[in-house]
Amino acid sequence: MKLLSSTTTVTLTSIFLSLVSALPSPSSPPGGPLDLSSPSTLFRRQDRSCQTCDANPLYNKCHITTSCEKISIHTRPGPTPYYCACRHGYRGKDVRADDTSAQFLLPWADQEGRVFVRPGVECSQLCDQWWLGAKGCREVKEMKSCL
């Protein structure tokens, strides 16, 4: 096996780093042109609320502090949506509590206190009354239309 020279290694590393730096940040908010490479974008609503995620790891844009959850009780026609879900007691960081384009609650039994966020939003801010469990994030607005 022949090893690469140090000049070749440095050149390949430089090329790789320039390609990686040209990629969009995974935490940047969506909203650009429709990306047909991800199946979830085909079902994304135009009004920027209720933005879905894709459970496929290749297309999942949820921040690492969230998980892409299937909303099995949805009532809208079409495929079952998936949303980025915060841990109980947390909501979107650096997001106004009433900004439904970035975060919302669902009227979902056993998940009432769970905040759902737009893909890329970090969930590391404690809710105002996190210790109350399901009623701890009442500062975030409920979006029945997202079911």
Per-residue pLDDT, 79: 85
Per-residue pLDDT, 8: 52
Positions in the chain whose pLDDT score sits under 50: 9-10, 16-17, 19-47
Check if the beta carbon of residue 115 is closer than 8 Å to that of residue 137. Answer: yes
Per-residue pLDDT, 113: 84
Check if the beta carbon of residue 88 is closer than 8 Å to that of residue 99. Answer: no
**Of 113, 106, 104, 111, whose CA–CA distance to 135 is shortest?**
113
